Amino acid sequence: MHSFIHSPPRRGAIKTFDTMSRRSGRITLQTRDSNTPELTVRAPLKRRKSEQPSKKKLQPATKKQSYEIQKCWSEDGASPCVLIETPHKELEPSDPSSFKQFRFKNLFIKASPIPRLSWASSDDVWIKMLNKELKYVHDKSYLQRHPKLQPKMRAILLDWLLEVSEVYSLHRQTAYLAQDYFDRFMLTEDNVGKECLQLLGITALFIASKIEEIYPPKLFEFAYVTDGACDIWDIQSTELHMLKALDWNLCPETPISWLKLYAQVEAQTGDENFLVPQFSPETYIQITQLLDLCMMDSCSLDYSYSVLAAAAFCHFSTFDVVHKVSGLTWDSVAPCVRWMTPFMDTLQSEAAPQLKNFPKVKSDDRHNIQTHVGYLDLLRKAQKRQMNQPDCQLSPVPVGSFLTPPSSAEKPANP
């Protein structure tokens, strides 16, 4: 474990840093010399002094980000568009070969569904969210890099993280950030053993809580919930290693943030404050429970976060509404909707989730707190339904042993 924790930074991170340094240098030179014609004839000395502008006028102009929405085609009155960032294309895929085709389909959508905002441009907000789909890469193929790991080990880890999140009244966004950090970190490593998973999971949750929570739990509390498996020094060392591997990219748009946007746009009826939730909390927690269950399955990493949220929303609404709030086409969402159907059928056979009360949490914020149910048992039922559904994309059959310590529901009767 110690050799894993103290391993040196990967070459990819160093290469990315060098690339960014060179790119920033080019931007500086371009700004300084932009639109300045090069003199071919030397003027007399006195003449040049008189023409030389003051130093105040030589200050480089502040780089401005502007965007345009370029129309591509028109179909039945709709105008799908390509969202283009100009004049500088800063957000570029770090590894274009790892991107799947559906990721680029998400860019060919209609203009921003976000209503007009008084505090920002809705087009700017929409474009930034879409660009993060390209910047933050996740892929289930990382399991091939770790032959000692099995899909069920990831499911058990995420189930335990959801349980810890509920105990400490952490927000749903915090739990989903931890899941994203863990999955993206595993893409940067090789041959990680199952004995390291709990340390990586609790470290990811520790980082996510500092990003999202106003009052995150203390470090010793995260060490405490591991029941002695990890101490504070382990978490601190692993935190630094994880941050370097992620290149400090810690702000993805998670399925929860996409879902909240979709729900808010659908519920908006007038000039209400867009930051104040208008949607039904009861329906929202049902959709989030579906997302929680799907997130446990490693096949969820086959889809972008925006498509995952749209497919879950589609199971509780019509596709016309989903298209209105997301701009996604049916061809983009349909595979995920079909894959998600066994999970939805499993939840429909269970009791509907209810809003829970949490200490020191306001009643209008209860739907944002992460909750936990018997997700591992629900996952087994959903995957069994997948095996009985011939046209459904199958998830990996879960095999392997439990983590230490496992969820209380998963502990064997006679250890």
Write the CATH number for 150. Answer: 1.10.472.10
Tokens found for residue 369: 């707190």
Let me know whether 151 and 127 are in one domain: no
Shared domain check, 181 and 110: no
CB 299 within 8 A of CB 339: yes
Q: Answer whether residue 5 is part of any domain.
A: no
- 224 with 127, same domain: the answer is no
Phi, psi of 339 (to 5 degrees): -65, -35
The verdict on 403 and 348 lying in the same domain is yes
Asked which of 103, 135, 167 is the last residue of a domain, the reply is 135
How far is the C-alpha of 379 from the C-alpha of 359, rounded, in Å? 29
Asked if the structure places residue 373 within a domain, the reply is yes
Residues 122 and 148 in one domain: no
Q: Kindly report, residue by residue over 110-164, the tens digit of the pLDDT.
A: 678 888 887 778 888 888 888 998 899 888 888 899 999 999 999 999 999 999 9
Domain shared by 252 and 188, yes or no: yes
pLDDT for the residue numbered 50: 43
Residue 34: inside a domain: no
Residues 6+ apart with CB under 8 A from 339: 299, 302, 303, 311, 392, 393
CA distance 266 to 326: 10
Q: Is the pLDDT of residue 106 over 60?
A: no
Residue ending a domain, choose from 135, 157, 188: 135
149 and 125, same structural domain? no
Q: What pTM value is reported for the model?
A: 0.70
DSSP per-residue string spanning 77-131? TB--EEEEEES------S-GGG--HHHHHTTEE-S--SPP-SSS-HHHHHHHHHH
User: Could you tell me if residue 60 is inside a domain?
Assistant: no
Nearest to 157, CA basis, from 125, 117, 118, 200: 200
Q: Is residue 387 part of a domain?
A: yes
Which structural domain range is residue 347 located in?
140-407
Mean pLDDT for 343-358 is 93
**33 pLDDT higher than 50:** no
Q: Report the run of H or E that residue 69 belongs to, with start and end.
A: strand 66-71
Domain identity same for 118 and 187: no
Per-residue model confidence (pLDDT) at position 31: 37
Q: Looking at the structure, do residues 153 and 109 belong to the same domain, yes or no? A: no
Please say which residue of 119, 135, 151 terminates a domain.
Answer: 135
Q: Is residue 327 part of a domain?
A: yes
Q: How far apart are CA 179 and CA 212, in angstroms?
A: 14
For β-strands 81-86 and 66-71, DSSP reports them as antiparallel
96, 159: one domain: no
Task: Please report whether residue 296 resides in a domain.
Answer: yes
123 and 188 co-located in one domain:
no
Domain count, the chain: 2
d(Cα 175, Cα 164) in Å, to the nearest integer?
A: 9
Same domain flag for 114 and 248: no
How far apart (Å, rounded) are the C-alpha atoms in residues 179 and 154?
10
* Domain presence at residue 25: no
> What's the confidence (pLDDT) of residue 134?
85
